[in-house]
Structure 1
Amino acid sequence: MQGMIPHHAQALRMTDLVPSRSTNRDITLIAKRIQASQEDEIALMRRWLRDRGQTVPAADHDHSGAGGELMPGMLTEEQFAELKKATGTDFDRAFVQYMIAHHMGALQMVEKLFNSDGGQETEIFTYASHVDGDQRIEIDRMQKLLAQLGGPAPN
């Protein structure tokens, strides 16, 4: 939960760029959907951590995992700066490519949780299952959108 808050916060930073850089209706709609779900999930994670007396990280806290590497799917600040500079179709393609990679990183984090004892608590299992399902649906939608935009799939 502590790692997912800044992970989700980065997705919100990405969706915040859409209104000023894209006129594509499909990009706007997917960004709004991502924004709504990520905001709700951040609120749930903060409440869950507070209820258990755990530290609630700031949304802008360090995005590193153990050993200092970025959490799965996180953009580097250089990649974020590149996204921030792009406009129009270039932005649309980059946004979708980066968001697919970001969502795939969240799926890795969920899988790690399911493979640990941490995913056994009912509320966490339900939350993680919801994230897993939502992210997979959004990845599928974004892959179709990326194909329409003529962009390559992310690594």
Structure 2
Amino acid sequence: MALSAWHGRSTRTSITTLITTLVVSVGVTPAVSAQSSSDTLTATASRQHTAADIAFMQGMIGHHAQALEMVALVASRSTRLEMESLAERIAVSQRDEISIMQRWLTARGEATSMPHDMHSSHASMPGMLSPAQMDSLRTADGTAFDKLFLQYMIQHHEGALVMVAELLRSPGAAQEPMVFQIMSDVDADQRAEIRRMKMLLAQW
């Protein structure tokens, strides 16, 4: 079910690439037999998720949700085609990832949002905009909005990269295939978007 969600996304790793990555990650040479490859994938698929994996998925859903609030402002406040294209890319990729993460959590009997007693730390997740920053973005317009949006979205994306790094530092985390895939996609997509946004800021 999850693999079908990846089709149609140019930034998503193909099934063949994913298989190669998984095989290489456990130290199997390219000359491995088909049976050995199958055994390797079966063993990898059986890896258990950790509490850190769950927290990452729940936290990233909330993190992505704020990014969607931000991109929803672009249509009414910017006249630049580059901004419209950027906003659409962010919206499509992050909605897709939210859907995948929600299904992953639900399939494991986990909540799709952070527990109530963790909500206070939700707003302080790396890169999250403060209420004051969100208000300033909502009231900006034209070029002032464009520049502020780019600055804030770069901050937001860099926060997501911090969350990825924190996950990787957690013992045993990011070994379950879907967690690894989401983590890798977040890292690759947002690094690429940060580079693009910095280029736009430099031009303007």
Distance 1:100 1:63, change over 3 A: farther
> TM-score scaled to structure 1, two decimals?
0.88
Give the equivalent residue in structure 2 for 1:130.
185
Q: Are 2:62 and 1:3 aligned?
A: no
What's the % identity of the aligned pairs?
53
Report the alpha carbon displacement of residue 118 of structure 1 after superposing the two structures with TM.
2.2
Contact 1:114 1:120 in 2 (8 A): no
Contact 1:22 1:87 in 2 (8 A): yes
- In 2: Cα distance, 1:102 partner to 1:27 partner: 16
Give the equivalent residue in structure 1 for 2:74.
18
5+ residue gaps, structure 2: 1-56
Give the equivalent residue in structure 1 for 2:92.
36
Q: Are 2:109 and 1:53 aligned?
A: yes
Give the equivalent residue in structure 2 for 1:153.
none
Distance 1:69 1:44, change over 3 A: closer
**RMSD (Å), alpha carbons:** 1.5
Contact 1:63 1:74 in 2 (8 A): no
Distance 1:124 1:74, change over 3 A: same
- In 1: Cα distance, 2:141 partner to 2:123 partner: 29
Distance 1:56 1:69, change over 3 A: closer
- In 1: Cα distance, 2:196 partner to 2:164 partner: 20
Larger Rg: 2
Give the equivalent residue in structure 2 for 1:108.
162
Q: 3-state DSSP class of the match of 1:118? A: coil
Distance 1:40 1:144, change over 3 A: same
- In 2: Cα distance, 1:6 partner to 1:69 partner: 9
5+ residue gaps, structure 1: 150-155
- In 2: Cα distance, 1:9 partner to 1:30 partner: 16
Q: After the TM superposition, which of the residue ranges 49-58 and 94-103 deviates more from structure 2?
A: 49-58
> TM-score scaled to structure 2, two decimals?
0.68
Give the equivalent residue in structure 1 for 2:50.
none
Task: Output the amino acid matched with 2:199.
Answer: K
- In 2: Cα distance, 1:122 partner to 1:84 partner: 38
- In 2: Cα distance, 1:111 partner to 1:64 partner: 21
Question: What is the aligned residue count?
Answer: 144
